[in-house]
Amino acid sequence: MILRNNPLWYIAGIGAVGSIIAASFCRGEQSVRLLLKNQQQLDSYQQSKLMMISEQFSYQCHPDAYLHSSVCEPINYLICCTKAYDVLPLVKSLAHALDEESIVLLIHNGMGVIEEVSKELPHLRIISGITYIGGYVEKPYLVRAFLNNRFYLGASVGQFTPAEITLVEHAFRASSLACEWTDSIGNLIWNKFAINCSINLLTVLFNCKNGLLIQHEKLLKQLSQEISSVLQAYGQIISADELFETIKTTIKNTAENYSSMYKDINNKRLTEIHYLNERLVELAEQKNIPAPLTSQLLTQFYTLFPDQKYKK
């Protein structure tokens, strides 16, 4: 792949993470194009500006935007920050513009997405991203950003040259986004998956912010035992006690936050339950590990929200 001095980054998904990356890249003088999913979103964006407000500064920009279904030219650099269930449809719609030299960075919740994409488009090379940067969309195209953390990136499918890795890292760092390339991205994905499976569903069932889950310590301990057993079966070295302490720390650090699943339910959107707790049960079944507590919680969830059952 011929590396360009000023690569053109296509960014799909303008939730909190996608908006933070797009605005930061523009602020760092990177070339950016937004990929929007429908004409209504595109029309709305054309009448607005993308704005990011952090504790240190505010910044607004208006990068070019296109419908992802209308892209004709090759895409060399794609960052996808959509909901987990939107990743595969998005990438399939761009298949004509992506090839084995494209750099595709996926940042999403849950597990199972990479397998879906690789099954449909086996030639694609994929970088996975995990971020602990905070932020929320205050209104369309206005994001509040808390930039006191970093992105972790690593190869999930295929090989990347040192020059390609440097290019990706530089794009983030030049945009004042702390970034670290790691050969252990899989471990970080498992860890975040375990935390999300422990917290998100419970915030919906108890109708609460993250912080109030600390009142349900016994339940959290039981979940830690069940989830850690699944992780261990897939080669992850983590005890139930270690996971429980990690969950408690996360709850404490995000006490005033509402989980993404809570916000999806509150806004009558499809949740990512299929790639979180449902996926956990699937993984447990593949290793013949019982997961009765997660199954029970899922039953409660679908009783309350039957329309959330995932349909492929």
Q: What is the pLDDT of residue 42?
A: 93
Q: What is the pLDDT of residue 134?
A: 86
Q: What is the pLDDT of residue 182?
A: 97
Of 132, 159, 182, the domain-final residue: 182
The answer to the question of residue 44 being in a domain is yes
Contacts of 218 (CB under 8 A, 6+ apart): none
Of 167, 182, 197, the domain-final residue: 182
Q: Do residues 208 and 170 share a domain?
A: no
Q: Do residues 55 and 200 share a domain?
A: no
The answer to the question of residue 312 being in a domain is no
The answer to the question of residue 3 being in a domain is no
Of 182, 217, 235, the domain-final residue: 182
- The tens digit of pLDDT for each residue in 140-155 reads 999 999 998 899 999 9
Question: What is the count of structural domains for the chain?
Answer: 2
Regions in the chain scoring below 50 on pLDDT = none
Q: Do residues 116 and 158 share a domain?
A: yes
CATH of the domain at 19: 3.40.50.720
Q: Do residues 222 and 169 share a domain?
A: no
Q: Do residues 218 and 118 share a domain?
A: no
CATH of the domain at 298: 1.10.1040.10
Q: What is the pLDDT of residue 12?
A: 98
Structural domain boundaries enclosing 103: 8-182
Predicted TM-score (pTM) of this structure? 0.95
Q: Do residues 209 and 157 share a domain?
A: no
The answer to the question of residue 302 being in a domain is yes
The answer to the question of residue 311 being in a domain is no
The answer to the question of residue 1 being in a domain is no
Q: Do residues 132 and 210 share a domain?
A: no
Q: Do residues 43 and 192 share a domain?
A: no
Structure tokens at 80: 């996808």
Q: Do residues 72 and 14 share a domain?
A: yes
Q: What is the pLDDT of residue 148?
A: 86
Q: Do residues 171 and 223 share a domain?
A: no
Q: What is the pLDDT of residue 1?
A: 55
Q: Do residues 94 and 120 share a domain?
A: yes
